[in-house]
Amino acid sequence: MNALRADAARSRERILEVARRSDPKDLRLNEIAREAGVGVGTVYRHFPTSHALVEELTMETLGRLRALAARASADPDPGRGFEAALRAVVDLHLEAGGLQAVLLANEDVSEEVGALKASIFGELEELLRRARESGALRRDLTTAQVERLVCGIEHAIRLGEPEDRDVFVDTLVAGLRPPASTAAGAPSTR
Amino acid sequence: MNALRADAARSRERILEVARRSDPKDLRLNEIAREAGVGVGTVYRHFPTSHALVEELTMETLGRLRALAARASADPDPGRGFEAALRAVVDLHLEAGGLQAVLLANEDVSEEVGALKASIFGELEELLRRARESGALRRDLTTAQVERLVCGIEHAIRLGEPEDRDVFVDTLVAGLRPPASTAAGAPSTR
DNA sequence: CATCAATCGGATGAACTATCCGCTTACTGT
DNA sequence: ACAGTAAGCGGATAGTTCATCCGATTGATG
């Protein structure tokens, strides 16, 4: 279907290569065009929006996120799986600056991205459901809300030094546990 | 010292009035000039940077923040004072969009703002110190870090609906408590 | 009311976005 | 090998917003 012409594929690669070195939160398409030795029109042909470009840059990260969610879901201990996933997800956010924008967007440019996101959210929904049932996660938080809290922590870490990461994530993890948590006991609905 | 000329004072007021209606995170000085019926140069004369304008807009909020910190410090129960302050501070952040930028800036345009901030931070430092000692706050978090976490929560709330506020703040509050809080020696006054 | 420093206004240039369209080029079939 | 053609390319360009500069204006002062 998408038999890209040879020169087009080359341009696309050039653009992506340059874009990868740029800040995903502040992509200047014209500047990228110049650095990639390509016309502005070419960039806009391949990526009509800077968000489209961010999506493309984030694809690989999305793949890793899905794998990570699957692995966490497979953990026999939902609480442990959940916490591990949480930490890994925060790391992913910190590595890939565009992840937050891609995950939060409710409209996706690329269908591939949309499908990946749906798959990821499905997996996470299931993971969190089990975490809630096992008493590892507050019952009054939806998956979408947890996602936003992760974005908040990402924001907080970016405001300061990377060294904040561990304490901040610890803080988040602790905050997500049910209040008045009694170790491993039954969730006892408060 | 600052005997502002009559017309200058008038312009200044006009500008501030218009600016108060704008989004503090996205001030367009040229647009404000137009709406205020004033030349662009006039705006830039009074506020050389959009940050300077934000500072001015945030002055009142800073005053409220200081009062709030003082009140919390006066609470005989440091834990309760701390938690109350935390909730109020988050509210302040949500009301005044520019607060985060002003608090996080390490260089202040206005000396008045600098002095206010210093006073506030001093008060908060003391409040948090007592909170830590009383076991209401993790010992491995500095005041600056807590401030960043508050900014993170603000970010998370803004990503979604305002209804998230209460749960999110609960989450933060819970996360800030010392880990393994085995109620041992917990001074809780309830 | 003459003087002048403070203030004003907006023309202006720089930076960036995003579109449009004539020119060029890689593929296809013969 | 080569002509035909659709896909792709490049960059001129119009539209924005930012921030500066400076000649014209005006409020304060003696």
Residues A176-185: what's their mean pLDDT? 70
pLDDT value at B20 more than 70: yes
| pLDDT tens readout for residues A88-112 | 999 999 999 999 999 999 999 999 9
Instruction: Grade residue B186 by pLDDT with cuts at 50, 70 and 90.
Output: very low
What value does the mean pLDDT take over residues B93-116?
97
Contacts of B178 in chain A (CB under 8 A): none
* CB proximity under 8 Å: B 74-113 to A: 104
DSSP letters, A104-168, are H-SS-SSHHHHHHHHHHHHHHHHHHHHHHHTTSS-TT--HHHHHHHHHHHHHHHHHS-GGGHHHH
Footprint of strand D on the protein (CB under 7 A): A 4-5, 7-8, 10-11, 37-42, 44-46; B 3, 5-7, 27-31, 40-41, 44, 48-50
A76 and A70 in contact (C-beta within 8 Å)? no
- What integer pLDDT is reported at residue A182 of this predicted model? 53
Between A and B, how many residue pairs show a Cβ–Cβ distance under 8 A? 90
Evaluate whether B24 touches B96 at the Cβ level (below 8 Å): yes
The pLDDT assigned to A189 comes to 39
> CA–C1' distance B9–D28 (Å)?
14
Please, are residues A89 and A68 in contact by the beta-carbon 8 Å criterion?
yes
Spatial separation of the C-alpha atoms in residues A40 and B47, rounded to whole Å: 36
The mean predicted confidence, pLDDT, of chain A is 94
Reported as a single tens digit per residue, the pLDDT across B34-62 is 999 999 999 999 999 999 999 999 999 99
* Subunit contact A151:B159, Cβ cutoff 8 A: yes
Report pLDDT digits (tens) over B115-172.
999 999 999 999 999 999 999 999 999 999 999 999 999 999 999 999 999 999 999 9
CA distance A54 to A110: 11
Q: What is the mean pLDDT of residues A174-190?
A: 64
Distance CA B125, CA B47 (A): 31
Cα end-to-end span (Å), chain A = 56
Taking the C-alpha atoms of residue B89 and residue B104, their distance in angstroms, rounded to an integer, is 14
Interface of B with A in 1-60 (CB under 8 A): none
B interface test, pick of A137, A140, A145, A158 with most B CB neighbours within 10 Å: A145
Tell me which amino acid residue A66 is: R
Q: Do A175 and B179 touch (CB under 8 A)?
A: no
Interatomic CA distance for residues B79 and B92, integer angstroms: 20
Protein CA at A72 to nucleotide C1' at C15, angstroms: 46
Instruction: Report pLDDT for A185.
Output: 40
Query: Does the pLDDT value for residue A186 go beyond 70?
Result: no
Question: Residue B190 has what pLDDT?
Answer: 39
Cα angle B45, B47, B53 (rounded to 5 degrees) comes to 160
Smallest Cα–Cα separation from A87: which of A158, A173, A161?
A: A173
What single DSSP character describes residue A179? Answer: T
Six-digit token string for A101: 């924008």
Give the pLDDT band (50/70/90) at residue B2.
low
- Which amino acid is located at B97 in the chain? G
Distance B27 CA to D22 C1' (A): 26
Tokens of A188: 């006892």
What's the predicted TM-score (pTM) here? Answer: 0.93
Query: Nearest C-alpha of chain B: how many angstroms from A104?
Result: 8
Interchain contact A71–B (C-beta under 8 A): no
- Residue B66: pLDDT above 90? yes
